[in-house]
Structure 1
Amino acid sequence: MSLERRISIITLGVADVAASTAFYQRLGWKKSSASQESVTFIQMRGTVLALFGREALARDAEVENTAPGFSGVTLAHNVSSPTGVDAVVKFAVSCGARLVKAPEKVSWGGYSGYFADPDGHLWEVAHNPFFPMDEHGHIVLPE
């Protein structure tokens, strides 16, 4: 097995989701209708930018907000099924990643887990049944 060279979502842990959303909208970037009060999604070319509260992001990854190495940024690799999440996380750990959060069903209706690379950068591996993927493996958000 190998991990496909793709980043699905870059999540920035922000102090104020509304203020950060307004900033990115002033840049001319449009938020998706999939956005909610607690999270904003912006379709990029081939990837998605997510704005999520920093403390909520730390809770989701089950790390301390002030933990050494937690930068407030996560990278996500989305796959087409929960079994795909399990396989990718297991493979990453076999390659030297540290398991941070074992894959599990999550409150938003998907399935995800987290691992850290040797420098502590967090990767979420997720199956999101609400975000379809195109033929290239890129997430396609609703406008």
Structure 2
Amino acid sequence: MDPRITVVTLGVSDLDASIQFYRDGLGLPLRDREPDSDIAFFTLEGTWLALYPRDLLAEDATVPDEGSGGFSGVTIAHNVSTKAGVDEVLEEAKAAGGSVVKPAQEVFWGGYSGYFSDPDGHLWEVAYPQLTDD
């Protein structure tokens, strides 16, 4: 297997609202799509983020869509180059309709990070991985 991830697909409950959150709120670049398409792709550095209705994603994977709303055991991380950048992205996500789940703080591994959730509860860690002393 070639060790790379090319697409991360999030199962979402409201595709239009999720597109608005990621495109308009966080500024991710949406690829061209047909207006009635069931999927949206955002081109990121080295990978794509895809949004697809949760029930259809579960059906495609042939697993039940229990919709429990609990922690799925997956988070997505976004690294920034400064501590202030962590705070800025968390505020950007909040202003876009997300929720700050864990405010930014010094963390056990030596960096600075916090978490937000998108409108469907997908968790994103925003981190400044301090590699040298500031």
Q: TM-score, normalised by structure 1?
A: 0.45
Could you say which structure has the larger radius of gyration? 2
Q: TM-score, normalised by structure 2?
A: 0.48
